[in-house]
Amino acid sequence: MLTSAKEVKLKKHKNLFYSLPLLILLINFVYAQGEGIRSLESIFSNDYIFAILLIVAIVTAVFEVLTPGFGISGILSIACFIAFFWGSIKMGNTNIFEISLFVLGLLLLGFEIMIPGFGVAGVSGIIAVSAGLVLSMSDIYFALFSLALALVIALILGYVLVKRGIKSEAINRLRLFKESSSDKGYVSVKAEEVSIGDILITKTPLRPIGYAILGDRKIEVVSNTGFIGKDESVVVVRISGARVYVEKN
């Protein structure tokens, strides 16, 4: 939960963050006009335009995922991706194959966010999205460089936001368990301390990850059947290492 001070600080960061890509695009556009580029098709003949769109799209997408709610960064990311593919189609670099790869990758990533952990769907989604973007540019090597640069910037941004205490439900779902601390009463559980058939009471909603009461302790559990509300009676149906899977009793 963000404090009001953090919310104010986040709004300031957002305002600065939103202005940077727009400024970059404006400078590039003015430069292009100065060079005598008069049409959109001519503008998209410049690989640097695609690189800027790609970098802005990826970085703003990461920013949107790491911050609460849906805002301008999400809209800007979508707009940049649309412009990227539209320009690529106009230049003859993209067909249905590249677009299908990109859409498939997004679907896989969306599916990965909805389930605990980060596995095959997430990795496959990243590969598919990356392949769709790289193959949509005329120069593969320049595309790989642009993608790598975008990912580096996104990773740095993500690190800074996480260090500043910004949290996102989407990121929590990508991790098998949310971070917990003993001072809040949340403790890990060893496999021998819980058995299949044990009855627990949910302390928080399970979406599908949450907490349940085991004796006098609150432990992390994973719903085996989707959403389960708070204060529900659940039964342990499976244990895998430190992962405790439950269903409604």
Neighbours of 60 (CB within 10 A): 27
Average pLDDT over residues 26-51: 60
pLDDT of residue 183: 42
What is d(CA 79, CA 183) in angstroms, rounded to the nearest whole number? 44
More reliable by pLDDT, 66 or 244: 244
Structure pTM? 0.54
Distance between terminal CA atoms of the chain? Answer: 31
DSSP symbol at 191: G
Give the pLDDT confidence of 78-113 residue by residue, as tens digits: 888 888 888 888 787 788 888 888 889 888 887 776
Is it the case that residue 156 has pLDDT exceeding 70? yes
Q: Please check whether residue 165 is in contact with residue 202, taking contact to mean a CB–CB distance below 8 angstroms.
A: no
Q: What is the pLDDT of residue 245?
A: 87
Residue 189 has what pLDDT?
A: 55
pLDDT at 62 over 60: yes
CATH of domain 178-248: 2.40.50.140
202 backbone dihedrals φ, ψ, rounded to 5°: -70, 130
What pLDDT band is residue 227 in, cutting at 50, 70 and 90? confident
Phi, psi (rounded to 5 degrees) for 236: -75, 125
> In angstroms, rounded to a whole number, what is the distance separating the alpha carbons of residues 156 and 162?
10
* Whether the Cβ atoms of residue 198 and residue 217 lie closer than 8 Å to each other: no
Q: Is the pLDDT of residue 136 over 70?
A: yes
Bigger pLDDT: 34 or 247?
247
Whether residue 235 contacts residue 168, with contact meaning beta carbons closer than 8 Å, is answered with: no
Q: Given pLDDT bands bounded at 50, 70 and 90, which one contains residue 181?
A: very low
Count Cα atoms within 13 angstroms, Cβ side, for 57.
19
Does residue 168 contact residue 134 with C-beta atoms inside 8 Å? no
What is the spatial distance between Cα 172 and Cα 101, in angstroms, rounded to a whole number? 26
Name the region of 36 (left: φ>0; alpha: ψ -120 to 50; beta: rest).
Answer: left
Average pLDDT over residues 198-217: 83
Average pLDDT for the chain: 73
Indicate the pairing of strand 217-223 with strand 209-214: antiparallel
Asked if 66 and 73 touch (Cβ cutoff 8 Å), the reply is: no
Q: Tens digit of pLDDT for each residue in 13-35?
A: 554 555 555 555 555 555 555 44
Rounded to the nearest 10 degrees, the angle between the axes of helix 120-134 and helix 96-113 is 150
Amino acid residing at 72: I
Has residue 155 got a pLDDT over 80? yes
| pLDDT score for 2 | 46
Encode pLDDT of 185-207 as tens digits.
444 455 447 778 888 888 888 87
Q: What is the mean pLDDT of residues 158-182?
A: 56
- Positive or negative, the CA dihedral 199, 204, 209, 212 is negative
Q: How many CA atoms lie within 13 A of 119 on its CB side?
A: 7
pLDDT of residue 36: 46
Taking alpha carbons only, the member of 227, 230, 231 closest to residue 247 is 227
Residue 20: its pLDDT value, please? 55
Q: Cite the beta strand spans of 124-242 per DSSP E.
A: 199-202, 209-214, 217-223, 233-240
Residue 237 in contact with residue 246, Cβ under 8 Å? yes
Q: Boundaries of CATH 2.40.50.140 in the chain?
A: 178-248
